[in-house]
Amino acid sequence: MTDRRQWCAALFGTIDARDSGGFAAYLTPDAQFRYGSAPAVSGSAAIVQALDGFFASIAALSHRVTDLWEVAGHLICRGEVTYTRLDGKTVTAPFCNVFTMCDERVSHYEIYLDPTPLSAP
C-alpha cells in the first residue's frame, strides 16, 4: 500500500469534496459500508447512492485525521469531522473509521460516530 497518511488524505478529500464517484474508486465492487448505527450498505453502486443522499442532507463536511494505525489487513483512523448543516450551523464530532483492506481498496468501511448532533435543533 502507498503511504497511509497520503492515502487517507486522498480518500477523505473525495468525501470532503462530496465526490461519491471518486470515493467509490477506493472501494472493492462488493464493499460493505456502515455509517454509525445505520444498516450496512453493500456494493459500490449502492454506497454511492447512499452517500449522494447523505451529501444532499448537509451543506459541507471536513475531516481532520489525528491518528492512524495499521493492523493485519486493517487501517484504523481517528479524528474529527465538521459538518455544516443546511441551516448553516456547524457541528464537530469525533470519529473512528475502520477499513478492512483488499490490496489498495476497502472491502469493509465502518464509521464509528454519533450522528445525533446533525439533527439537533
The structural domains of the chain, ordered by start, are 4-113 (3.10.450.50)
| Structure confidence at residue 119 (pLDDT) | 87
Q: Is the pLDDT of residue 86 over 80?
A: yes
- Percentage of residues in the chain with pLDDT exceeding 70? 98
Phi-psi region of 88 (alpha: psi -120 to 50; beta: other; left: phi over 0): left
Query: Which region among 1-10, 24-33, 45-54, 76-85 has the lowest average model confidence (pLDDT)?
Result: 1-10
Q: What is the pTM of this model?
A: 0.92
User: How many angstroms separate the most distant Cα atoms in the chain?
Assistant: 42
Distance of alpha carbon 9 from alpha carbon 1, whole angstroms: 14
